[in-house]
Amino acid sequence: MKKLWKTVFDWLDERLGLNDLYKATLDRPEPKGNWWNTLGSASLFLFVMQGLTGIFLTVYYTPSPDHAYDSIQYIMTGVQFGWLIRGIHHWGASLMVIVVFIHLLRVFATASYKYPRELNWIFGVGLLILTLGMGFTGYLLPWNQKAFWATTVGTAIAGSVPGVGEFILKALRGGPDLSALTLSRFFSAHIWILPALLVALIGVHVFLVVKNGESAFPEKEE
């Protein structure tokens, strides 16, 4: 079996240059550091985990006011290990926000946003905003009382922005109040728009990390 896998890998390597890709992206020295340097990788792992569990949930979820809550209850009680998958997705969302925030805090505290990593800092802030957007749009999807009123308050806060508040409020809700259109918009943003933007920014972010290298912790003065 091992010989078979080696043959397959060699065949693909000749045509795709997998070894060259590995050497260019992963086979490089890492700065001396500690677990703080793993926060970026942890954020990426959580994003992948959220994507995989989200795909599973989407198979059973129905984005309509009449069936959204019942579909969540079916996932929790009628689907084998559905409660576990939803639990991982629910708590993973909160954990991802925390890890991404701490990651940016570490970058700021160690001044790793300076030359030549200014663009990566900007993309990192964008990733934090999109992560918060994922959490906000996903919070409404269970369509229970807590989700309904939390989203009502959240969108009202966004609607209080001077000048453009009314436009933002209508864009989020699809009207003056929360409705089926609001749920549909949040669902679309949660599973298509925001994930696509996240994947694009993560790709650029990782490319810049590979290009400029990871930042090392400042050395203590003797």
Q: At what angle do helices 82-109 and 118-140 cross, to 10 degrees?
A: 150
Q: Are 50 and 92 in contact (CB under 8 A)?
A: yes
Residue 124 CA to chain centroid, in angstroms? 12
Paired tokens of 96:
């991802």
Q: pLDDT tens-digit profile of 148-193?
A: 999 999 999 999 999 999 999 999 999 999 999 999 999 999 999 9
What is the distance between the alpha carbons of residues 154 and 140, in angstroms, rounded to a whole number? 11
For domain 38-212, give the fold. Cytochrome Bc1 Complex; Chain C (1.20.810)
Paired tokens of 201:
């920014």
Residue spans of the domains in the chain: they are 38-212
Paired tokens of 109:
């505290």
Residue 190 CA to chain centroid, in angstroms? 10
What is the distance between the alpha carbons of residues 29 and 52, in angstroms, rounded to a whole number? 31
| pTM score over 0.85 | yes
Q: What is the phi/psi pair of residue 67, to 5°?
A: -125, -10
In the 8-state DSSP scheme, what is residue 220? P
Q: pLDDT tens-digit profile of 203-215?
A: 999 999 888 877 7
- The pLDDT profile of the chain, 222 residues, written as one tens digit per residue, is 788 898 998 899 888 888 888 777 766 666 666 778 889 999 999 999 999 999 999 999 999 999 999 999 999 999 999 999 999 999 999 999 999 999 999 999 988 899 889 999 999 999 999 999 999 999 999 999 999 999 999 999 999 999 999 999 999 999 999 999 999 999 999 999 999 999 999 999 999 988 887 776 656 555
